[in-house]
C-alpha cells in the first residue's frame, strides 16, 4: 500500500481534562476542529462504559459538527453496539476495556472471543460502519480478524513505544514485530492501522511501513499541546509521518 498515510487524532484526553473540573472547558469538539485544520484525516473518540472522558453528548456533537470521519472506539457490549448503530459513525474500532485500567492496556483477544465478537462485527458491518479490531501484531489474532470478516485491524503499538526507553536492540525487536504483523495482515487482505503511545520519537519507523494505512494518536498530541499548542502538535506529527512515508517510498 502506498500513498498518503492517514492521521486519526484521538481527542479523549481533552475531555479528561474537562471532566476533572466539570463544566464545558476545554471542549473536545473544538479540539477536533483544530486537529482537522492542522492536517488530521479523521477523529477518534473512545466512549468508555464509565464515561471517564468522552461522553454521549460529545459523540452527538462530533457527528453533527465535524466533517472528518469519526472513528468510535468501543467495547464489545450490547450498550456500545446500540450507540454505534444509532449514530452510525464512519468507523468503529472494537477495543478491550477493563474498568480498573488507566487506559487500554493491550489488544483485544479476538482469537479467544470469536463467538462473542462475530455478531457485533456483523451488525456494525451491515449498518455500513467500517469495523476494525484493536489487536496485537500476532498471527493468531490477525487470523481471527480475517475469520471474523473485520476489514481493518489496528495494531497495538504500546509495547513498541515503551521499548524506546529500553535501548536500541529492544526497540528494533518491537519494530520488527510490528512490521511482520503488518506484512502478514496485509497479505490476508486486511487494511492495517496502528496506534497507542506513538510520539514524535517513535512514529517514523511505523510510518515507514508501506502496509500501514492509518495511525491513530491521541495522548501524546494532547500532552504536547500543553507546551506548543494543539495545532502545532498535530502539524508536527503530520510532518514526521509524511517525511517518513516519503523516505520509505524513495528507498523502495
Can you read off the three cell numbers belonging to residue 81?
Answer: 453496539
The residue with cell 462485527 is 121
Residue-wise burial string across 4-37, b where 16 or more C-beta atoms lie within 10 A, e elsewhere:
ebbbbbbbbbbbbebeeeeeeebbbbebbbbbbe
Alpha-carbon separation of residue 155 from 29, 125, 206, 215 (angstroms): 26, 20, 10, 9
73 is catalytic: yes
Catalytic residue, chosen from 73, 136, 191, 211, is 73
The CA distance from 8 to 43, in Å, is: 5
Catalytic residue, chosen from 13, 46, 53, 193, is 46
Beta strand 212-217 with 191-195 is parallel
196 is catalytic: yes
Catalytic residue, chosen from 191, 193, 196, 224, is 196
87 is catalytic: no
Give the residue numbers marked as catalytic.
46, 73, 196
Amino acid at each position: 500500500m502506498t500513498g498518503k498515510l492517514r492521521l486519526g487524532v484521538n481527542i479523549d484526553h481533552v475531555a479528561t481534562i474537562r471532566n476533572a473540573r466539570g463544566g464545558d472547558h476545554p471542549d473536545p469538539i473544538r479540539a477536533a476542529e483544530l486537529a482537522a485544520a492542522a492536517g488530521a484525516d479523521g477523529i477518534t473518540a473512545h466512549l468508555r462504559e464509565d464515561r471517564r472522558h468522552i461522553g454521549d453528548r460529545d459523540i452527538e456533537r462530533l457527528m453533527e459538527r465535524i466533517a472528518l470521519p469519526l472513528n468510535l472506539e468501543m467495547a464489545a457490549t450490547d450498550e456500545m453496539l446500540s450507540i454505534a448503530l444509532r449514530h452510525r459513525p464512519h468507523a468503529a474500532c472494537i477495543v478491550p476495556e477493563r474498568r480498573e485500567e488507566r487506559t487500554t492496556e493491550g489488544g483485544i483477544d479476538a482469537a479467544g472471543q470469536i463467538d462473542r465478537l462475530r455478531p457485533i462485527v456483523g451488525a456494525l458491518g451491515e449498518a455500513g460502519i467500517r469495523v476494525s479490531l484493536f489487536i496485537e501484531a500476532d498471527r493468531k489474532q490477525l487470523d481471527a480478524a480475517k475469520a471474523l470478516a473485520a476489514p481493518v485491524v489496528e495494531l497495538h503499538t504500546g509495547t513498541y513505544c515503551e521499548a524506546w526507553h529500553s535501548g536500541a536492540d529492544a526497540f528494533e525487536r518491537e519494530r520488527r514485530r510490528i512490521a511482520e504483523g503488518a506484512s502478514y495482515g496485509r497479505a490476508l487482505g486486511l487494511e492495517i492501522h496502528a496506534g497507542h503511545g506513538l510520539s514524535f520519537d517513535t512514529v517514523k519507523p511505523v510510518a515507514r511501513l508501506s502496509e500501514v494505512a492509518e495511525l491513530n494518536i491521541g495522548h501524546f498530541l494532547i500532552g504536547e499541546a500543553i507546551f506548543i499548542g494543539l495545532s502545532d502538535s498535530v502539524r508536527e506529527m503530520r510532518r514526521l509521518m509524511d517525511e517518513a512515508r516519503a523516505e520509505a517510498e524513495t528507498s523502495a
